[in-house]
Copies of this chain bind each other. A is one copy, B any other.
């Protein structure tokens, strides 16, 4: 995992931030604003996180609010749930999304069901942050996309930003949300993706709303996370080389999905492609496709097509296999062209 841990400071121009800086900035702003916000996870303190997302926060807010936990994900989430029940707004960091599974029971059986099972008496305002996604030689256990597991679970919200602006705005919303929010950060985007982030300004981006990443009229492409950038790049190429107009919808929240936005775009263009790097079967794209199939039938000019990671356990380490796994601009472009020609 070249460069996963030891990073140089990234140069950005004024008003610009990297994706990871935006995330760190959101946490700092919210910890500053609200004493009940605490941060807990493995190596989040002195080390500042294995990706440095929490760098400096323990110095600012002390080790009672920025807690290096024992190596136990079920405890990280379970203790955060308890703290949330008692008035805190914990941000629980899972070091890699791949290691969220030991906490699965606490997330799915406890956090997700607390409000419902108490008829609204108790609630769990907490955020679980975790880096996900591939393309950094992280191999089977440092590359996974696990969002679909949680997008199936009522009571949870699942947010996946693709830009620094959204990363900050959505993380702020997640921290203020009254319910448990899983916040997945694409680890390849951390330093690769830069963008405008209003400085000193308190803004937020609402959970549950998709974003038109690129306007278009002939085809809709639905994506989230890093794939949004690849889709936009492919769409630009389509426009330039084929004169074909592709709309790219950045879902941003995959639970609950922004159904109106999906329907609007799918109905408008009549052709839909869903792109995701998770395993194809029952990935979030399956739900997007199923929604379109059920609710846009009369508008469709072609099959709803999916381009996703293969149904193999995860992304292998060796470069040719890693590349084979991960959808890229070239393969997205090819899928767009084939669907366009349909």
Contacts and interface: CB of A to CB of B under 8 A. Distances in A.
Interface of A: 98, 101-102, 104-105, 108-109, 112-113, 116-117, 140-141, 148-149, 151-155, 255-257, 279, 281-287, 289-290, 292-295, 297, 300, 302-306, 310-314
Taking the full assembly, how many copies of this chain does it contain? 2
Contacts of A141: 109
A227 B297 CA distance: 26
Given A289-B290, A290-B306, 15 more contacts: A101-B104, A113-B140, A116-B313, A149-B149, A149-B152, A151-B281, A152-B279, A256-B281, A256-B311, A282-B282, A286-B287, A289-B293, A289-B294, A290-B290, A294-B306
Q: Which 5 A-B pairs have the closest CB atoms?
A: A293-B293, A297-B303, A104-B104, A101-B105, A289-B290
A312 B116 contact: yes
A317 to B, nearest CB: 10
Contacts of A289: 286, 289-290, 293-294
A113 B305 CA distance: 28
Given A154-B311, A155-B313, A313-B117, A282 B286 contact: yes
A149 B297 CA distance: 28
